[in-house]
Chain A
Amino acid sequence: MANQYDLIIIGSGPAGYTGAVRAAQLGLKTAIVELEEKLGGTCLRVGCIPSKALLEATEKYDEAQNHLADFGVNVDHVSFDLEKMLQRKESIVNGLTGGVAFLMKKNKVTRYFGRGSISRSGVVEVVQESGEKEELTATSIIIATGSKVSSLAGVELHGNIVGTSTEALSYESVPEHLVLIGAGVIGLELGSVWRRLGAKVTVVEYLDRILPGIDSEIAKEAQKIFKKQGFEFRLGSKVTSARALEEGGAVVEVEGAEPLHCDRVLLAAGRAPNTDGLGAEAVGIELDRRGFIRVDEHFRTTVPGVYAVGDVIGGAMLAHKAEEECVACVEKLATGYGHINYAVIPNVVYTHPEISSVGKTEDQLGEHGVDYKKGVFPFMANGRARALNQTDGKVKVLADAKTDRVLGVHIIGARAGDLIAEAATAMEFGASSEDIAAVCHAHPNLGEAVREAALGVAGRVRQM
């Protein structure tokens, strides 16, 4: 039967498309259902990728404008072309989403264009925009529908005046004053983009810290650096309302403080599971209190033959975590074994400097009463960092006091996002801090800072 599959994946984000390729490799007849015309999900269309394109472009501009002179390179009349930047971003997105479409074709994964819903166990109904319906059947169904922006009481979305990250990736002009609601990774990355291009950026955060989830010592250091860059932080501030004004611009009301007037508001106070129109509850798929799909350790929902992975089941909302889950789920289905190690999932914030982490934070270790040792090394003392003129930040290695096993590594500084890979590899291998220290690191190299921090756990720092 043409419409019968071994596996149907609903959602084509990193989880969906990677899982579909893996399923095809394992010989499953696979289909993928995507509501949007472009494949790739939030990550490729309006998330990780376009934001990185803009971050990279604006960082170049910022460097040319403010830092090249430090190197003795003089550039006169630095200017930017926003339209070109946005076009470049679009072409990167198009290239990659087209690439995903190609991957589907190459792996003989059938793509269905429309909203996928589960009408009963083993049956997926695809409703196209035109209203046309099609029914597909499958032995297994994986829900990988991702997440959407969380709403916030009192915040009325209004075009790009009071908008979300999707709008903030495409402002046609640089805002004069951008107010971020939420000091998480999305807000700070996009805030960085527009700040570099000249916007005044105010960050309003309910908690008394930025970057929830990131090690608080690292977050504090980040806040200091961002403040120096021009971010204005209003921490411990509750937004009671945000709305567009008829006369133009917007107003953000904050409890116990003067309202903020601005021309753009970006709501980035977290993301919520996307189960819109999925028909989950109607077929008996249980959701938890916050709307995430309930799954067991093998990603099984409460309906036999229906699985869920990625943002829609909660946990860290990261593309690579979602991807790991979907691949593990598919492999478990096809081979009986799937692997995912939640203890070692790296996390990167692409601000400048970058922030990265893997494993437990000091806060978490403290909460659980784990006896740990800590090694720290600042980039200021790293030769390569000095040559790069990027001496902000540090590497922190946390290891079990008794066994010396590495429990967490946290980095803020130049290319932190790349440096974390070493730590993740080490942790996946059950390395001790001494193991990292025992590995020969090239000189002069930013990675030496990781090694020195590892040496620092045993008080053996050599380069400081």
Chain B
Amino acid sequence: MAIELKVPAAGESITEVQIGEWLKKEGDAVRRDETIVVIETDKVTVELPAPADGVITKILIPEGEDANVGDTIGLMEEGASAGASQGSSPAASAAPVHAEPVAAAPEASPEPAPASAAAPSSEVIAPASGAPDVRDSLPPEGFARVMPAARRAAATEAVDLNQVLPTGPGGRILKEDVMRQAAQPKPAPAPAPAPAPAGLAPERPHTPDARGEEVVKMTMLRRKVAETLVHSQQTMALLTTFNEVDMSGVMAMRKKYQDSFVKKNGIKLGFMSFFVKAAIEALKEFPSVNAEVNGRNIIYKNYYDIGIAVGGGKGLVVPVVRDADRLGFAQVEQTIFDFGKRAQKNQIKLEELQGGTFTISNGGVYGSMLSTPIVNPPQSGILGLHNIVERPVAVNGKVEIRPIMYIALTYDHRIVDGREAVTFLRRIKECIEDPARVLIEV
């Protein structure tokens, strides 16, 4: 049984993916549930497990190419089991009482897959070392997608196959597709730029510099990031306000309770939980920062799902701490710690990235002193944290050295007024400088 390997639905908003590494080659034996290929979406990386035991017979879409959800990206042959321990082949085990093997049943051809005969084990199919790999001599994928007569027609009619709309099965270009293109009035309309994702200008013709350049395809994640950021910049009225926070109060508190906190919760008390809590206090006070614009409406949210930007193996991801207002410090710390660990391994699940009513981004871990973060649409605000530096400050008329962090709030000025934004940030400053305020909500 040939099985089509299809791009699985990775989430409701995801339609386009990029094929990552094929962990199995054509001819490789796979066991059920073994990962065959890595598929990258604009948000997460998913793995496609083998639906059954068998052998990979065809890779239709190679690494680095784009595909849509539901596309067939490869084929495998079921039953071409690598493990011979399963016993005799279906044909051999067929009804011993009957002289005629079942395989001869006229309409019952599905059972003995040819691949199983050819490949009782994966070793057989692997080319002997040194022997040329037959796959190298196969035509490239694009070649196989053009029917032979279409290729001839394209040559004689001087039609660029890239301009031809394929209508054949599997996206094949048929002769009639080429003829249709050839019949278009000339000069052909300037080649419509491939619909570049918003945020990416169409590709310019590029002549490589002789000194050496490398052209690398953007990953889905990078493309999505580009798209989102440009979208945010173009559709919102973004403005950033700054403030500075004296961290000595929080630092003292951490010092005082760190040991008992670790003993009780098995995790260190960091700064993030303080900022999450402080942000929620501020959000409660200024609901517009926790709201989003939808057409002519503003949607205010009575829940607080805080996105936390964390560095991942493939780039920045922003998993969401759900209902953060109902979590304790330890739970917040635990959730963020867990996100950070899994982000390194690209194991953040798609649903963990969706939603979010407000975002906190900490550039301080990389040493940033000051920045203007960009809002993650459709949210309306993002809090930027920065490094903590000992600075001389005036306290009660005297110069003192205090650990200071600059904080930034970028907000959508369409629904957040300047006064609100500034007070919002001041509220955070107060809560961090005097953490007891969070507790007694003043």
Contact = CB atoms under 8 A, between A and B. Distances in A.
Tell me whether A and B are bound partners.
Answer: yes
Nearest to B103: A99
A337 to B, nearest CB: 9
Nearest to A41: B107
Nearest to A93: B100
Contacts of A117: none
Interface stretch (A73-81, A409-417, A429-437): A429-437
B154 to A, nearest CB: 12
A355 to B, nearest CB: 18
Nearest to A96: B105
Given A21-B110, A438-B149, A438-B152, A100 B105 contact: yes
A445 interface: no
A206 to B, nearest CB: 31
A51 to B, nearest CB: 12
A307 to B, nearest CB: 19
Given A402-B179, A438-B149, 5 more contacts: A25-B1, A48-B106, A95-B99, A403-B176, A405-B174
Interface string B133-173: 00000000000000111101100000000000001110010
Contacts of B99: 91, 95
A428 interface: yes
A123 interface: no
Interface centre among B97, B105, B167, by most chain A C-beta atoms within 10 angstroms, is B105
B179 A18 contact: no
A319 interface: yes
B313 interface: no
A428 B101 CA distance: 31
Interface string A90-131: 011011101111110010000000000000000000000000
Given A14-B107, A92-B100, A96-B105, A429 B95 contact: no
A452 interface: no
30 contacts: A14-B107, A18-B108, A21-B108, A44-B106, A91-B99, A94-B100, A95-B104, A96-B104, A99-B95, A99-B100, A99-B108, A101-B95, A102-B95, A102-B98, A102-B102, A319-B107, A320-B107, A403-B174, A403-B176, A404-B149, A404-B175, A428-B169, A429-B172, A430-B147, A430-B172, A430-B174, A431-B174, A434-B175, A437-B149, A438-B148
B369 interface: no
Given A25-B1, A429-B147, A96 B174 contact: no
B94 interface: yes
Given A18-B108, A428-B169, A429-B147, A99 B175 contact: no
A95 B99 CA distance: 6
A432 B98 contact: no
Interface residues of B, number: 31
Interface of A: 14, 17-18, 21, 25, 43-44, 48-49, 91-92, 94-96, 98-103, 106, 319-320, 323, 400, 402-405, 428-432, 434-435, 437-439
B105 A99 contact: yes
Contacts of B148: 434-435, 438-439
A278 to B, nearest CB: 23
Interface string B70-94: 0000000000000000000010001
Contacts of A405: 174-176
Contacts of B176: 400, 402-405, 432
Interface string B25-59: 00000000000000000000000000000000000
Given A404-B176, A428-B169, A430-B172, A99 B104 contact: yes
B169 A17 contact: no
A257 to B, nearest CB: 40
A102 B92 CA distance: 12
A211 B107 CA distance: 24
A219 to B, nearest CB: 25
B287 to A, nearest CB: 42
Per CB-CB distance, the 8 closest pairs between chain A and chain B, nearest first, are A95-B100, A434-B149, A403-B176, A99-B102, A102-B95, A438-B148, A432-B175, A98-B98
B149 A432 contact: yes
Interface in B152-209: 152-153, 167-169, 172, 174-176, 179
Contacts of A98: 95, 97-98, 100
Nearest to A426: B147
Contacts of B147: 429-432, 435
Nearest to A102: B95
Contact of A99 (B1, B94, B179): B94
B101 A99 contact: yes
Contacts of B100: 91-92, 94-96, 98-99
B84 to A, nearest CB: 19
Nearest to B102: A99
Given A403-B175, A432-B149, A432-B174, A103 B169 contact: no
Contacts of B97: 98
A99 B174 contact: no
A14 B105 CA distance: 10
A204 B110 CA distance: 40
Nearest to B100: A95
Contacts of B101: 99
A180 to B, nearest CB: 25
Interface string B96-131: 011111101111101100000000000000000000
B33 to A, nearest CB: 15
B171 to A, nearest CB: 11
A402 B174 CA distance: 13
B150 to A, nearest CB: 8
Nearest to B108: A103
A319 B152 CA distance: 38
A429 B166 CA distance: 12
A102 B111 CA distance: 12
Interface in B309-332: none
A435 B179 CA distance: 14
Contacts of A100: 105, 108
Contacts of A429: 147, 168-169, 172
Nearest to A101: B95
A103 B172 contact: no
Nearest to A92: B100
Contacts of A323: 107
Contacts of A103: 102, 105, 108, 111
Contact of A96 (B106, B149, B152): B106
Contacts of B150: 432, 435
Nearest to B166: A430
A428 B104 CA distance: 25
A330 to B, nearest CB: 13
A449 B99 CA distance: 37
B406 to A, nearest CB: 54
A96 B108 CA distance: 9
A432 B110 CA distance: 29
Contacts of A95: 98-100, 104
A101 B150 CA distance: 47
Contacts of B108: 17-18, 21, 99-100, 103
B218 to A, nearest CB: 32
B169 A430 contact: yes
B37 to A, nearest CB: 20
A192 B176 CA distance: 43
Nearest to B95: A102
A151 to B, nearest CB: 28
B113 to A, nearest CB: 13
A283 B213 CA distance: 73
Nearest to A435: B149
A287 B172 CA distance: 40
